[in-house]
Amino acid sequence: MMTVSLAILGLLTIAAPWLISHFGRRFGYLAALVSLASFLWFFSLIPRITSGDERIEELPFLPTLGSAFTLRLDGLALVFALLITGIGTLIAIYTVGYLEDHPRLARFWVSLLLFQTAMLGLVLADDIVALFIFWELTSVSSFFLIGFADERPQARANAQQAFIVTAAGGLLLLVGLLLLAEQRGSFSLRTLLSAGTAQPTDALTTAAFLLILLGAATKSAQFPFHFWLPNAMEAPTPVSAYLHSATMVKAGIYLLARIAPEFGRHPWWQPSLLTLGIVTALVGAALAVLQRDLKRLLAYSTVSALGMLVILLGLGEAGSKAFAMFLLAHALYKGGAFLIAGIIEHSTERRTLDALGGLWCRLPTLTLATLLVVAAAVGLPPTLGFIAKEATLEVGLNVMPSLLFALLVVAAVGQATVAWLLLRPLFARPPEILYPHAPHWSLLVGPTALGLLALAGGFFSAPLGRIVSAIVASVRGSAVLVVEIALWHGFTLVLGTSVLVLVTAGLLALTWPQLAQFGDHLAATTPLGEPPRGLGRIAPERGYRGLMATLTRVAIMQTRILQNGYLRVYITIIILTAILLVSASIVRATFPRPATFPGVTSVDVVDAILALIIIVSSFVAVRATERLAAIAALGALGFSLALLYARYGAPDLAITQVLVDTLTVVFLVFAFYRLPRYARLSSTAARARDALLATAFGLMMAGFALLIHLFRYPERTSVFFAEQAYLAAHGRNVVNVILVDFRALDTLGEITVLGLAALGVTALLAIGKGARSR
């Protein structure tokens, strides 16, 4: 059923343009039903998974590499699957009222459904090849969603930035996973991460851990890669709520939690994650309270929350319970907060805090949903946010050093301040009277449902405890343990710290106008095309822009040299590169011992005549002053080669050569009278250079062919292909089997190149025909 769920989402992605052309905005309800069906199926597995069972599905996939398309559902994967499908259902309904009948609705849905499919596949994948494919698909789909409004330069630039940062991290992740696969001989995550398979201090294991950590850090917007997430707020609000708060940005968190059972014992695990998490949490919280834009404010607070999750993972088993609860609580209240921001912008066409206020009396349903979300976000009892905050502060107080715990509290204050600021559009005095239009009911379903779920979490401690237990078991790599969750622990130091966080955050929220002015003075973010100011001069984003500018300059420089538009330059560079590389290989193979080629005992007369024809034809073709003589020489050369192929047991190659040369001669004869007269277009020195280059290439190929006789491998590839052509590929024509089976990807690449060339020629012909008609 996991495979079926992915297949249905994939088919819906493909069929979306056609369905939208028939149903319009109502397609969102169909997408919601599909997501809801998946959610209900995953929900039905909660009793089985929380009791310690796992569900595994496997399909054949790259068997020669030892890779299989394996899906695995345990406690951690189940919770993420529920978040992806459940919040995906609400996002689909929300999109109906948000985008309405947008002209690019089909493009949006294709990208969003592609993301949902990829994200669900990512958390279910147990094979590193499949995991990497799904990982990069989330980056690709995010690129299209962030750049949805591609008429805006800022949207295009930010989409490119998010893609480059996350895709580069994906490549680092791939290298790390492949290092593990090479070391441990498997592509299965269960095998790679099984405890005790290697010494945790191995250099290879350490390198793999650092590469995986960097990949996760880029995806989950950890410092110094955090800047792409606030800039991704150019995307429509459904994207921000789904990808950039509840699901995609937690892909890195999911990966770290998945590898925790093995790498949690590594001596670099705790210092690396604690440092990364604390810096990210503090930077995100500090920048969040300085923002005026409502979505950027929520984005920076998401960065801070992601840093908090990394901190809890870095604390090992002690932080796993708080990690599980904070993961659930943040997905609910932050997704609801983004949806509320989208409703405010949709109803008022504004989203800066100082331009909003007084909406409580005009949008009462939105006010109720906002109060629910804010209560969970600041951690008021009896919400799930309160339980998660208490658990986080408790583990910090008991495990972390005093200084680190104080920094954790500061980050919590910043996050709570952002939550209080969500009330400002409702209750602050507006600068002018606003007349917002009432939001469509579909816009209110999402934040209301998420707020109610966050509220209900505090009342259903037993079911919540079983889900948290399953997550903790996955993170620890142990059997499912009973995790006790209680709403009230009495008057404790943790409760006092929690109240201090709430009060301090409330006071900071009251002084937000002064904080925003201070943020303007610092100017930590720089709009596209403007020189950096204030902290923007040392911000990590400036490093990204400097790197991209350097790459652009290098690309322009090498393009002027290597891609200058002259075909003769391209061919010269290709031939020179081939000569140098192959010649170096020949010298390396024959040094220090000289090559001993087999002697020539006799020369067949027919072979000698054909060789002489080829030599003479080549000379005539390049020296002829008449076009007809050159064409005849090319024909004689080609047919002589075909005869040589036929004499030495390659009839298929001979037939191909005859066909190619026949068509070439025929086409040249047909175009004979339309071609311009021969003219000397190059200097004598240029022709001498070309002749020297061609001679060198010929000598290199001759040396390479002769060098083959020096090597005698115990197993000849020809024997292998002859034996396996029918057994493995069910074909008797060995050449055809090699082309379409053993070298299928090469053939596919050649077909793709020819297809693209044909499309280009067709487009040029269509343009020419249109120009002539005008």
Torsion, Cα 92 95 97 101, to 10 degrees, reads: -120
Is the model's pLDDT at 307 over the cut of 50?
yes
Query: What's the pLDDT tens digit per position in 342-358?
Result: 999 988 888 888 888 88
Per-residue pLDDT of 445-456, as tens digits, reads: 999 999 999 998
Taking the alpha carbons at both ends of the chain, their separation in whole angstroms is 58
Residues 93/442, Cβ–Cβ less than 8 Å: yes
Tell me the pLDDT tens digit for each residue of 558-608.
888 777 778 888 888 889 999 998 888 877 776 665 555 555 567 788 888
Which of 194-203, 516-525, 541-550, 623-632 is most confident?
A: 541-550
pLDDT band at 712 (very low <50, low <70, confident <90, very high): low
pLDDT of residue 770: 66
User: Residue 197 — very low, low, confident or very high, per pLDDT cuts 50/70/90?
Assistant: very low
Q: What is the rounded radius of gyration, in angstroms, for the C-alpha atoms of the chain?
A: 33
Asked whether 69 and 58 are in contact (CB, 8 A), the reply is yes
Q: State how far the Cα of 44 lies from the Cα of 47, in Å rounded to an integer.
A: 7
pLDDT at 619 over 80: yes
Q: Residue 198: its pLDDT value, please?
A: 46
Q: Mean pLDDT, to the nearest integer, of 388-412?
A: 91
What would the mean pLDDT of 115-130 be, rounded to a whole number? Answer: 93
Residue 531 in this model has a pLDDT that exceeds 70: no
At position 488, the amino acid (one-letter code) is W
Q: Is the pLDDT of residue 250 over 80?
A: yes
pLDDT at residue 441 is higher than 60: yes
For residues 268-289, give the mean pLDDT.
94
Alpha-carbon span 583 to 505, nearest angstrom: 71
User: What letter represents residue 77's amino acid?
Assistant: A
What pTM did the predictor assign?
A: 0.81
**Residue 732 bridge partners (DSSP):** none
What secondary structure does DSSP assign to 312-367, as a single string?
Answer: HHHTTHHHHHHHHHHHHHHHHHHHHHHHHHHHHHHHHS--BGGG----TTT-HHHH
Lowest mean pLDDT among 258-267, 544-553, 718-727: 718-727
Average per-residue pLDDT for the chain: 87
Residue 145 has pLDDT above 90, yes or no: yes
CA atoms of 626 and 706, how far apart (whole Å):
36
* The token pair that represents 576 in the structure block: 């020179």
- Average pLDDT score over residue span 177-201: 75
pLDDT confidence bin for 538, thresholds 50/70/90: low
As a whole-number percent, the residues of the chain with pLDDT over 90 amount to: 45
What type of residue sits at position 139?
Answer: S
pLDDT at 600: 59
The pLDDT of residue 121 is: 94
